[in-house]
Amino acid sequence: MTTEVATAPTTPSRSESRIVGQSQITLGVVLTYGVLLLGALIIVFPFIWMIFGSFKNIVESNAYPPTLLPEQWYPQNYVEAWLKPPNTLGRYIANSVLIATVGTGIQVAICALAAYAFSRLRFPGRDLLFMIVLATTMIPGEITLIPNFVTIRRFPLLGGNDLFGAGGSGLYDTYAAMILPGLVGAFNIFLLRQAFLTIPNEFWEAAQLDGCGSFGYLRRIVLPLSVPALLTVAIFGFIGRWNGLLWPLLITRSESIRPVQMAMIYYQNEFLTDFGMVMAASLMVTLPIVVLFLLLQRQFIEGIMSTGLKG
Amino acid sequence: MLYVLPALVILMVFEFWPIFFNIYISLWRWDVGPLNFVGLGNYRRLLLEGFITRDYNNELAVGEVLHSLIITIYYAVGRVPVTIALAFVLAYLLFVWVKRGRVILRTAYFLPYVTNSAAIALVFAWIFDARIGVMNALLERLGLPTLTWLNDPFPMTKRLIEMATGGMPESWANLAAGPSVAMVVIIIYSVWTSLGYNIVIYLAGLTSIPNELIEAARMDGANDWVILRRVIWPLVTPVTFFLLIANTIGAFQAFDPIYVLTRDLGFGRGGAGGPLETTLTVTVYIFRNFYERANAVGYAAAVALFLFLIILGLTVIQFRLFSKRVHYQ
């Protein structure tokens, strides 16, 4: 496992390693590994603490001084954590899966369509429109937060609202409200456009000779050739939605539709916190992201390295 | 054209329109909908009472906005330089000195960035728990005094002086003495989550340094320290500059870590920003006005615009100050 990962293509090639001469494997190198391993241990420590802590019963998790390993393993924490929030943790996980997959799916589709138009098709005002789209990356979250809340709440003709958005609650407290804002992300369009532009023009000419329309070309040629870029957009979209807290907190009221990060609040409220159960919940909520990251970390880290993209 | 339409509609409604709508809302006293037009009243309140107000003794005191701004600056100053410095050192060590296990180490450092969420913040809440936390157990083992961490509103500087001398200085105000102990925990958490991102960006910068430059310097007899100081550091200044700006903006916009770690400590139900409002940053202050106070949505919108202008101003200042010192190849 170790060697397999270590020789993965992300590792910069041997030529770079020659910056340090071969003769210098000395005290310095040993010290460096020491520092880096100690640092990594500190970074990973909360995860280790979470894993072992999730098997401690309430007496042990409140014991002082604490121990790393539980004396009696108590896996029932997972059952208790699952049953603790209203409608069980499963309901929140299902909500998050829904929001993250549907939101990310629509996001990738919409962004791919737009990026394709901006890279391949010709229409009047294209470059101006692209500049406008890019300009939205500079609009910060603190500015859009409150107006978007009001927009969702007063969305015309929905949720009991009249044509002018008065009377009802609009899209407030719906899945759509959690998905809609932030669905596009101009940066994603930019990223996909860059990927689409690398596809040689000859492919397009050949496809046209074969009677392929512009949508067929997108579906059969462009998308299959751009899987890494699409994957990068999808991973960032999924993880952002899975970890998101503020927007769902603001825009929903019903526990039955809230995502998984909001369930975490139910584990916090007690006078004597059952930290073992809290850790079991944290682990169940975090594990999907860790697995996803470990499976796709090449796309993930290369996506950041090549673009400076922030998740 | 049809292909662009869905993206364009959503960007218009949820990105462009909000700029104008936010200004519009900020001119009203607004609850679920507009109540009454107040013109620049919200801005007047923000800039006058928000900065200097009178306390219950009718003496001049720091206003809510200025208070939250100072807290935000403490948070940013505590978080940004530490993150960048640690990231550079670790990325340099990883890149130049490590031949085996680089990917494994990189993955370990990067993990907190992807798991950054309410769920993982609770692990920190346990580690830094005042009563049963492992951090206090560690300090005790080392023979050091323990702290109540997230429950402690006193400035870290005063706590350290108290530990050293046995008495806490009374002469200077708590707000002037730097971040509270609770804020220090939030800073530690934030550094922990953002370090991996910064390391990866530095690694990308280090990878782009032409090997010949380093070989040439070595030919000229430069040792590792000189190469680091005179070759590598200047060549990654664009990366450092980018990270400085990105981290500063991120720090001024941070909400989740503060909300999750202090939710039970603030005032009222679901209030964040405690203990004694020493972690009440501008974003949390906007949230409080928007979400918890009656009829203050318009005021919150005004503060949001104010925060945006502060961030914009800071970015411009950073460009002015540092862009001359950035070396592009």
| Domain range summary for chain A, segments of one domain joined by + | 87-267
What pLDDT band is residue A8 in, cutting at 50, 70 and 90?
Answer: very low
CATH code, residues A87-267: 1.10.3720.10
Q: Which two tokens stand for residue A33?
A: 């590994």
Residues B199 and B87: beta-carbon distance below 8 Å = yes
DSSP letters for A219-256 = IIIIHHHTHHHHHHHHHHHHHHHHH--HHHHHH---GG
Spatial separation of the C-alpha atoms in residues B238 and A232, rounded to whole Å: 24
User: Distance (Å) from the C-alpha of residue B162 to the closest C-alpha of chain A?
Assistant: 24
Rounded to 10 deg, the angle between the B64-92 and B181-207 helix axes is: 40
Cα angle B259, B264, B268 (rounded to 5 degrees) comes to 100
Spatial separation of the C-alpha atoms in residues A308 and B40, rounded to whole Å: 39
Instruction: Say if the Cβ atoms of A143 and B33 lie within 8 Å.
Output: no
- pLDDT at B28 exceeding the cut of 50: yes
Element (H, E) at B138: helix B134-141
Share of chain A above pLDDT 70, in %: 88
The pLDDT, as a whole number, for residue A288 is 93
**Closest to A42 measured CA to CA, from B198, B111, B283, B226:** B111
What pLDDT band is residue A112 in, cutting at 50, 70 and 90?
Answer: very high
- Dump pLDDT digits (tens) for B295-325: 899 999 999 999 999 999 999 999 888 877 7
- Dump pLDDT digits (tens) for B145-175: 999 999 888 999 999 998 888 888 777 788 8
Spatial separation of the C-alpha atoms in residues B35 and B31, rounded to whole Å: 7
Spatial separation of the C-alpha atoms in residues A248 and A243, rounded to whole Å: 11
**Closest to B148 measured CA to CA, from B115, B119, B187, B182:** B182
Q: Which of B21, B32, B117, B265 to mutate to test the interface with A (most CBs of A within 10 A)?
A: B117
Residues A152 and A251: beta-carbon distance below 8 Å = yes
What ipTM, to 2 d.p.? 0.91
Spatial separation of the C-alpha atoms in residues B256 and A245, rounded to whole Å: 7
Rg of chain B, C-alpha, whole Å: 23
Domains of chain B with CATH codes = 21-325 (1.10.3720.10)
- pLDDT at A163 exceeding the cut of 80: no
Tell me which chain A residues have a C-beta less than 8 angstroms from the C-beta of B265: none
What pLDDT band is residue A91 in, cutting at 50, 70 and 90?
Answer: very high
Instruction: Say if the Cβ atoms of A110 and B201 lie within 8 Å.
Output: no
Point out which residues pair with B60 in neighbouring strands: B54
User: Distance (Å) from the C-alpha of residue A311 to the closest C-alpha of chain B?
Assistant: 8
Residues A292 and A274: beta-carbon distance below 8 Å = no
User: Distance (Å) from the C-alpha of residue B325 to the closest C-alpha of chain A?
Assistant: 21
DSSP letters for A140-209 = -HHHHHHHHHHHHHT-TTSTT--TTS-SS-TTTTSHHHHHSTTSS-HHHHHHHHHHHHTS-HHHHHHHHH
- Dump pLDDT digits (tens) for A210-259: 888 888 899 888 999 998 889 989 988 999 999 999 899 999 999 999 99
Q: How far is CA B233 from CA B183, B224, B239, B283, in A?
A: 31, 12, 10, 34
| A15 or A284: which leads in pLDDT | A284
Spatial separation of the C-alpha atoms in residues B164 and B152, rounded to whole Å: 18
